Amino acid sequence: MSSEGLSDDVDAGSSREGATQREPKRYTTLELLERLVAFDTESSKSNIALIDFVAGYLDGWGVPYTRVPNAAGDKQALFATLGPMIDGGVVLSGHTDVVPVTGQAWTSDPFTLRISDGRAYGRGSVDMKGFDALALGLVPDAVSTELKRPIHILLSYDEEITCLGVLDTIAHFGTDLPRPGAVIVGEPTGLEVADAHKSVVTYDTVVHGHEAHSSKPMLGANAVTAAADLVAELNAIADAMIARGDASGRFDPPATTVHVGTIAGGTARNILAKRCSFHWEFRGLPDLDMQEIPRLFAEATERVVANRLNRYGDYGHIETVEEVAVPGLAPDPGSEAETLALRLAGRNRTISVSYATEAGRFQAAGLPTVVCGPGSIDQAHQPDEYITLDELERGEAFMKRLLSECAA
């Protein structure tokens, strides 16, 4: 597919020109991981320097790619194709952003890969630059193999905060970019194949009251007490979800969860609080009606406004804003992605994972998707984050089997 037809908001690079003029650099997986970890790509920062490195690496091997910027222009996704530019390929999807290191007690520089005791330490080593390095490590062998089915490498941004960094690329599938037949999201699963995870939806609720002397509550509205009522309502919703349980029996904990993370409000003990805000979330089972909990909370809000906040007059109101909504991943037994990943990983069953990923974004676009990558989520987001060298070796074997599959 020619890059000439690409939309204005993507930047195609192809790079076969000049590739024969020099010998490309062949990196080992650890060398690639070392280069990737060296880029400080915390979600609040740009990832473009990392994408520039990857683009240069792909240029050396003559691999065509497309860079997809965000609206602000300070971050980019990259979509590369190994093999024929046709529909039906396999996407290896990994994010480039990492969580912050501030306040964590690292024993070495988090952005310098350290190898010790069979482990590779560094921020993002397991979540998930280890998978990114494995995917990029395929390049030299892939360009010398006659692939019948394409392998795509998709590197995204903002996974750790919104999981929105893949959406602009997904929007080009089937138009400017080939439409894949299967997606493997390489979050750490110990190379088990996960076909399900919960959704995550987060909210910011602000209660606006009216200040008055605490000895005369009828002259105002206490935002703190109204917020307390709402938190109690969320606790009741959480209890109802626990009682409903998990019919699939696959999740830990075995229910949709509801959680209030922060709350702040008021100015003094003897003043009715003018304002109180709290952040809350729910993590829904795949079969949850995503509108159920927002609907229950809206009904609770109406009761609290009428019975508590405005008991003595039209003094206050409540605002709730949805911040992030990451869809869950629902089981799709026998899908192309599941069948392929089970074969590549040498597994005979799927699992569920407790964390959310970009996989639900792909599935929502009608693409068969699973989560399967090296390492353990238990090491993610921790100080001295690491991936074992054994897991990287197993990941290399996984990638070699994928290469063989796509050449057959």
Question: Could you tell me which of 224, 215, 313, 217 has the C-alpha nearest to residue 274?
Answer: 224
Whose CA is closest to 137, among 223, 25, 47, 221? 25
Classify residue 52 by burial, with Cβ atoms within 10 Å: 0-12, 13-18, 19+.
middle
**If residue 278 lies in a helix (H) or strand (E), which one and from where to where?**
strand 275-284
Respond yes or no: is residue 97 known to be catalytic.
yes
Direct distance between the N- and C-terminal alpha carbons of the chain, in angstroms, rounded to an integer = 22
Residues facing 263 on adjacent strands: 278
Per DSSP bridges, beta strands 151-156 and 90-95 are: parallel
Annotation marks residue 17 as catalytic: no
Cα dihedral sign, 373-379-381-386? negative
Burial class (CB in 10 A: 0-12, 13-18, 19+), 366: exposed
Instruction: Check if the beta carbon of residue 94 is closer than 8 Å to that of residue 132.
Output: yes
Query: 257-265 and 65-69 as β-strands: parallel, antiparallel, unpaired?
Result: unpaired
Name the active-site residue from 42, 59, 97, 168: 97
Round to whole Å and give the CA distance between 214 and 46.
48
CA–CA distance, 402 with 344 (Å, rounded to integer)? 7
The whole-angstrom separation of Cα 8 and Cα 68 is 10
CB of 373 closer than 8 Å to CB of 128: yes
| 387, two tokens | 């991936």
Active-site residue (options: 42, 127, 132, 159) = 159
In this structure, which amino acid lies at residue 54? V
Is the Cα dihedral 20, 21, 23, 26 positive or negative? negative
Q: Label residue 196 left, alpha or beta by phi (over 0 means left) and psi (-120 to 50 means alpha).
A: beta
Give the active site residues. 97, 159
